[in-house]
Amino acid sequence: MTMKPGERVAIVGCGPVGTVLALALYKNGIPVTIFEQEPGTVKDQRAATLHLTTVEFLDDLGVFEDFIDLGMKAPLYQFGDRQTGKAVAEFDHGVLADEVRFPYAFQYEQYKLVDSIVAHIGDTTDVEYRFSCKVTGVDQTAAAARVTFENQDGETESMDCVYVVACDGARSTVRDLAGIEFEGFTWPERFVKIATTFDFYAAERGYCTRNFLSDPDEWCNLFHVPGENGERIWRTVFPVKTGETDEYVLSEEGVQARLQRFFPKEGEYPIAYKGLYPVHQRVAKSFNAGRVLLAGDASHANNPIGGLGMNGGIHDAVNLAGKLHAILNKDEDTALLDRYSRQRRKAQIDGVQAQSMANKKLMEAREPKERARQLDEIRHTAEDLELHKAYLRKSSMILGLQAAESVQ
Ligand SMILES: Cc1cc2nc3c(=O)[nH]c(=O)nc-3n(C[C@H](O)[C@H](O)[C@H](O)COP(=O)(O)OP(=O)(O)OC[C@H]3O[C@@H](n4cnc5c(N)ncnc54)[C@H](O)[C@@H]3O)c2cc1C
């Protein structure tokens, strides 16, 4: 690569979306600098599910084979009724085997994905990491952009670049600096995640790798994830009830009480980690403003039921890398970036936002008749092969990508 420093793309945020974007640009011969405020990659225990569409992209980028043996293939997922303890509907990605390359979701924690990508890129001056560097300013002219940041010594520095991509998460500084509105709302309740080494297969409730258990009082999502040093982990996610304080929810007493309510057992649960999260449904008004571009949580945030947030962000990154390649390497028109915004906003609004809100509604439905109707509907969907396939095309984000592709 022969580009000068000012011809690099600046990526703000070394999370899953920033690193996938860096890899995709690097593979297209575009040098990048990634700014990350933390001293290294972050051990973020949020996402763990990669949908089959995302696995295909990661395979196209040549990185999936690096970790295929380290994660867990999850062909099945289940909707259940926590009140009766019974499964209501089970979906099998295997029914899509003749139309997709990877007929399963893949369980691999997001921090491992980030580290796998950084290792895959290896040591090259074309991907520069600026850790402990917090971006505080972004300026642009028609010809260039400039990123200002506080460096590891607390000094203010700046770097010129061709484009700045905000991959700096839902509270994006870059989005705010560009004056782009983050439209939508924040749910009143927060979600708590509690991970345990207790093996929920021992509960003998017929759980599979990914389980979504509806309950008007306290729904639960339950996932099996690879964990560390060969020790498998089960993650649970619950809504926080009105009146519960953060301190209580995350206290040993609060955590144990929640798991014991879910599956009463003798002795305490061994806790691996826990976290409390605000929950949003928001989409940026635009994903581009001149030379400033948004991707991942910086451009959209959704409740995590269904595991769509990071996946959608990776889809943004792949789409955007293709457009920057066309503009920077093939002299195509920068109007492509308006199309990026239109395409990915549609995938978000009609796909991820709608789907994640429908998932939440199914988990928490309170009115008995409406709850029974929703559970009957999902049961019927799973039992009918064509509806089953159609549902999986939606939940694994095939339809969202197709809808985005059709946007000019
Ligand atoms: C409980 C839970 C479970 C989830 N499970 C799933 C799942 O299974 N599948 C799924 O698809 N999604 C899931 N998500 C959502 C997923 O975690 C996010 O969508 C994903 O982390 C977004 O990635 P990102 O790279 O856009 O942003 P982030 O992961 O938030 O990374 C942003 C990075 O930018 C850095 N940064 C921020 N500001 C600055 C600055 N000014 N200068 C420099 N660096 C900065 C941060 O330190 C951070 O490293 C889940 C979320 C929750 C809460």
Q: Is the CB of 47 under 6 A from ligand 1?
A: yes
Domain assignment present for 340: yes
In sequence order, what are the residues at sequence separation of 6 or more whose Cβ sits closer than 8 angstroms to the Cβ of residue 73?
104, 105, 106, 107
**Could you tell me if residue 250 is inside a domain?**
no
* Domain presence at residue 307: yes
Nearest CA to ligand 1 atom 39: 168
Pocket test for ligand 1, best of 77, 171, 310 (most atoms within 8 A of CB): 310
pLDDT per residue over 15-35, tens digit each?
Answer: 999 999 999 999 999 999 999
Q: Is the pLDDT of residue 122 over 90?
A: yes
Q: What is the pLDDT of residues 33-81, one digit of tens each?
A: 999 999 999 999 999 999 999 999 999 999 999 999 999 999 999 999 9
List the residue whose alpha carbon is closest to atom 9 of ligand 1.
307
Confidence at 6, pLDDT banded by 50, 70, 90? low
Between vectors from CA 77 to CA 406 and to CA 404, what angle results, nearest 5°? 10
pLDDT of residue 336: 98
Answer yes or no: is 58 within a domain.
yes
- Local structure of residue 56 (DSSP, 8 states): H
- The residue type found at 379 is R
Encode pLDDT of 349-392 as tens digits: 999 999 999 999 999 999 999 999 999 999 999 999 999 999 99
Angle ∠(305,309,310) on CA atoms, nearest 5: 125
Q: ∠ CA 401-79-238 to the nearest 5 degrees?
A: 95
Nearest-atom number in ligand 1 for the CA of 134 is 42
DSSP label of 45 = -
Residues in the chain: 408
Rounded to the nearest angstrom, the distance between the alpha carbon of 388 and the centre of ligand 1 is 30
Residue ID of nearest Cα to ligand 1 atom 52: 46
Confidence at 1, pLDDT banded by 50, 70, 90 = very low
Q: Where residue 230 falls among pLDDT bands split at 50, 70, 90?
A: confident
The region of weakest confidence among 1-15, 144-158, 368-382 is: 1-15
User: Cα separations (Å) of 213 from 12, 185, 369?
Assistant: 37, 25, 18
The CATH code of the domain that includes 346 is 3.50.50.60
Is the C-beta atom of 309 inside 6 A of ligand 1? yes
pLDDT at residue 4 greater than cutoff 60: no
Residue 246: inside a domain, yes or no?
A: no
Mean pLDDT (whole number) for 218-239: 96
Q: Which of 41, 54, 43, 47 is nearest to 14 (CA)?
A: 41
* Helix axes of 398-405 and 336-346: crossing angle, nearest 10 degrees: 140
Q: How many CB atoms lie within 10 A of CB 306?
A: 27
**Atom 29 (ligand 1) nearest CA:** 15
* Residue 271 in domain: no
**C-beta separation of 250 from 276 below 8 A:** yes
Residue 57 belongs to a domain: yes
HSE value, Cβ hemisphere, 13 Å, CA-based, for 96: 27
Burial of residue 189, with CB atoms counted within 10 A of its CB: 0-12 exposed, 13-18 middle, 19 or more buried: middle
Residue 2 in this model has a pLDDT that exceeds 80: no
Domain range for residue 111? Answer: 5-71+107-185+281-362+397-405
Domain count, the chain: 1
Q: Could you tell me how far CA 311 lies from the centroid of its own chain?
A: 5
Is the CB of residue 55 below 6 angstroms from any atom belonging to ligand 1? no
Atom of ligand 1 minimally distant from the CA of 279:
53
Asked if the structure places residue 215 within a domain, the reply is no
**Interval between CA 169 and ligand 1 midpoint (Å):** 5
Task: Say whether 186 sits in a helix, a strand or coil.
Answer: strand
CA 15/CA 34 separation, integer angstroms: 10
Give the chain's mean pLDDT: 96
